[in-house]
């Protein structure tokens, strides 16, 4: 396409983007992807992993069965690549995993922790025997200087690798660092050098261009930057920059066609950088947790950033609280969630509560509706998980006269602890969440466990509206799935009656009407 270019470009959108879609992509998108790249100045397409069976659902492009590779081969005029996770593959697996790909795949890459370069070298030997090009994608380049053994061993890659990649795993390196590390590598190996940049600090482009300037031979990128966490160098940005600065021949019709389909997908999954990713990048903190926190919606950036700083300072948690050991018990407990129905039906719900007094109390799973119930004379408990401390400050203008008690998850809290000053003497932590091993830090888990501690015989949920299947977003879907899971776990664990007093879309939640209880 362009003869003067002395470097290669590898697009790994399907492979790295799979972190957001569980490695499933619809056929139409895949066709557009291959068809568009046939017209673009890119040399390699990395389409996925090959892997032995794992114990969780992972889709088509995580396993890349042969029919997938055959289809890719038939659609594409590029060299095709797959990647292996070094930690999951031993040399004895290589033949089974890779022999079937022999005429379909051109390069096999190995993603590795620098600590295991030795193991990776042996793996690479086996791969090389099958005739593939081999790439080493070595993570954590910002910490390589601390790995003396690794640095000493780099020279051994010459014998087995075609490309030796520096991976900016945290997305926190600067052009100056790229230059330094590339020189460090060049002193040790004659292997061609690659760079895989993450975009936490919006430095992926300048780092990649700096790598090229200092002799890198291949650059990774993905369409719209789709990739784990904050994502990668954007293919369209790299091509546009090289087109304008070096005349790299680029078909912008093809480029915009493929960008278009991934931008639509991005609206559902929302990859790209944001404040939590910036903080983790700038401070070389792992992104895995951040990605989970960002994609679940009940942590504010604030809580996430607090958690990151706790990690950075190696503080597990900054506050140990007195245990929640309520003197009072109530046979009927109302749990109020964040749904609009808790507001819509509040008059009836308050009437219902008054009829049960004093043998009842309210637990606010979310503080969203708390102000609607401020005026009712009944004991009230507030679950302080995620961002609720701040939300409480917003909901109640003045916390000085706050009459309730706050309940927090067991110590240590991964997300750190924020308690408004006025509530310090009124806040307690649970010793444990009994009825579930997962999702222990969710609002619903905390509220249900609090009800158990209060010795509830019957629990009424209010404002657990759920979501209508049709209009549901990814985030709402995952929150809804989590609650369904917790309801099931709770009912398996306990014989306490659990029902919703207001309309709900949850399937595991029996419904009665609040109005049926009123005279």
Taking CB under 8 A as the binding criterion, the range among 36-44, 138-146, 271-279, 454-462 that sits at the site for a second copy is 271-279
Sheet holding 405-408, edge to edge: 427-429, 405-408, 379-383, 360-364, 332-336, 458-462, 497-500
Q: How far is the CB of 116 from a second copy (least distance, A)?
A: 28
Of 257, 259, 268, nearest to 238 by C-alpha is 259
What SS3 class is residue 466? coil
CB 243 within 8 A of CB 209: no
Q: Name residues contacting a second copy, limited to 416-475 (CB under 8 A).
A: none
Judged by CB under 8 A, which of 244, 315, 323, 518 binds a second copy?
244
Judged by CB under 8 A, which of 88, 103, 115, 260 binds a second copy?
260
When the beta carbons of 100 and 175 are compared against a second copy, the nearer one is 175
Judged by CB under 8 A, which of 22, 76, 85, 274 binds a second copy?
274
The site for a second copy, by CB under 8 A, has a size of 39
Q: How far is the CB of 299 from a second copy (least distance, A)?
A: 11
Taking CB under 8 A as the binding criterion, the range among 78-86, 134-142, 172-180, 347-355 that sits at the site for a second copy is 172-180
Q: How far is the CB of 45 from a second copy (least distance, A)?
A: 19
Of 430, 449, 439, nearest to 493 by C-alpha is 449
- Is 226 one of the binding residues for a second copy (CB under 8 A)? no
- Is 13 one of the binding residues for a second copy (CB under 8 A)? no
When the beta carbons of 79 and 296 are compared against a second copy, the nearer one is 296
Structural tokens at position 435: 């009825």
- Is 371 one of the binding residues for a second copy (CB under 8 A)? no
Q: How far is the CB of 158 from a second copy (least distance, A)?
A: 33
CB 279 within 8 A of CB 303: no
CB 299 within 8 A of CB 416: no
- Is 300 one of the binding residues for a second copy (CB under 8 A)? yes
Residue 262 CB-half CA count within 13 A: 29
When the beta carbons of 73 and 234 are compared against a second copy, the nearer one is 234
Q: Over the range 299-318, which residues count as b (16 or more CB within 10 Å of their CB) and which as e? A: bbebbbbbbbebbeeeeebe
Q: Name residues contacting a second copy, limited to 324-343 (CB under 8 A).
A: none
Taking CB under 8 A as the binding criterion, the range among 13-21, 103-111, 247-255, 375-383 that sits at the site for a second copy is 247-255
- Is 232 one of the binding residues for a second copy (CB under 8 A)? no
When the beta carbons of 74 and 267 are compared against a second copy, the nearer one is 267
- Is 505 one of the binding residues for a second copy (CB under 8 A)? no
Angle, in degrees to the nearest 10, between helices 27-37 and 66-75? 40
Per the document, the length of the chain is: 519
Given its phi and psi angles, is residue 224 left (phi above 0), alpha (psi -120 to 50 degrees) or beta? Answer: left
- Is 245 one of the binding residues for a second copy (CB under 8 A)? yes
DSSP letters, 246-309, are H-----HHHHHHHHHHHHHHHHHH--S--HHHHHHHHTT--HHHHHHHHHSTTS-HHHHHHHHH
Q: Name residues contacting a second copy, limited to 191-220 (CB under 8 A).
A: 199, 201-206
When the beta carbons of 387 and 405 are compared against a second copy, the nearer one is 387
- Is 54 one of the binding residues for a second copy (CB under 8 A)? no
- Is 78 one of the binding residues for a second copy (CB under 8 A)? no
- Is 256 one of the binding residues for a second copy (CB under 8 A)? yes
The structure tokens 């002395």 sit at: 6
Judged by CB under 8 A, which of 54, 66, 159, 275 binds a second copy?
275
The structure tokens 């009800």 sit at: 451
- Is 286 one of the binding residues for a second copy (CB under 8 A)? no
Give the span between the Cα atoms of 324 and 404, in whole angstroms: 13
CB 169 within 8 A of CB 281: no
Residues in touch with a second copy (CB under 8 A): 172, 174-175, 199, 201-206, 234, 236-237, 240-241, 243-245, 252-253, 255-257, 259-260, 263, 274-275, 278-279, 282-283, 300-302, 305-306, 309, 390
């Amino acid at each position: 396409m362009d003869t003067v270019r002395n470097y290669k470009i590898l697009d790994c959108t399907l492979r790295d983007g799979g972190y957001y879609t569980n490695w499933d992509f619809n056929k139409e998108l895949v066709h557009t992807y291959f068809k568009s790249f046939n017209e673009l100045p890119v040399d390699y397409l990395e389409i996925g992993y090959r892997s032995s069976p794992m114990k969780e659902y992972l889709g088509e492009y995580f396993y890349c069965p042969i029919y997938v590779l055959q289809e890719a081969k038939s659609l594409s005029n590029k060299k095709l690549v797959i990647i292996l996770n070094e930690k999951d593959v031993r040399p004895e697996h290589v033949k089974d995993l890779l022999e079937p790909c022999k005429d379909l795949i051109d390069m096999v890459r190995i993603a590795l922790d620098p600590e295991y370069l030795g193991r990776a070298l042996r793996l690479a030997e086996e791969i090389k025997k099958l005739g593939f090009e081999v790439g080493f994608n070595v993570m954590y380049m910002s910490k390589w200087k601390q790995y003396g053994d690794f640095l000493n061993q780099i020279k051994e890659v010459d014998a087995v690798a075609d490309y030796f990649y520096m991976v900016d795993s945290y997305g926190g390196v600067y052009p100056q660092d790229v230059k330094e590390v590339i020189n460090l590598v060049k002193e040790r190996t004659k292997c061609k050098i690659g760079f895989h940049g993450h975009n936490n600090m919006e430095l992926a482009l300048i780092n990649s261009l700096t790598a090229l300037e200092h002799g890198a031979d291949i650059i990774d990128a993905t369409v719209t930057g789709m990739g784990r966490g904050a994502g990668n160098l954007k293919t369209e940005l790299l091509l546009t920059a090289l087109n304008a600065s070096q005349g790299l021949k680029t078909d912008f019709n093809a480029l915009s066609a493929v960008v278009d389909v991934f931008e639509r997908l991005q609206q559902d999954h929302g990859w790209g950088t944001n404040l939590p990713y910036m903080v983790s990048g700038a401070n070389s903190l792992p992104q895995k947790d951040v990605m989970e926190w960002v994609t679940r919606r009940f942590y504010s950036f604030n809580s996430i950033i607090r958690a990151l700083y706790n990690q950075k300072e190696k503080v597990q948690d900054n506050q140990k609280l007195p245990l929640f050991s309520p003197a009072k018990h109530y046979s009927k407990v109302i749990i109020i969630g964040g749904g609009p129905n808790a507001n819509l039906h509040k008059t009836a719900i308050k009437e219902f509560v008054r009829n049960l007094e004093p043998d009842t109390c309210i637990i606010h799973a979310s503080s969203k509706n708390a102000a609607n119930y401020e005026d009712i004379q009944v004991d009230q408990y507030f679950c302080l998980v995620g961002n609720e401390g701040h939300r409480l400050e917003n909901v109640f203008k003045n916390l000085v006269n706050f009459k309730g008690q706050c309940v927090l998850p067991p110590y240590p809290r991964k997300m750190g602890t924020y308690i408004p000053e006025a509530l310090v003497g009124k806040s307690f932590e649970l010793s444990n969440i009994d009825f579930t091993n997962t999702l222990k830090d969710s609002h619903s888990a905390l509220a249900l466990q609090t009800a158990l501690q209060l010795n509830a015989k019957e629990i009424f949920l209010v404002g657990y509206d759920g979501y209508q299947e049709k209009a549901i977003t990814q985030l709402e879907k995952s929150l809804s799935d989590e609650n369904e899971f917790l309801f099931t776990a709770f009912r398996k664990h306990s014989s306490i009656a659990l029902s919703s007093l207001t309309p709900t879309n949850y399937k595991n939640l029996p419904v009665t009407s609040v109005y049926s209880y009123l005279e």
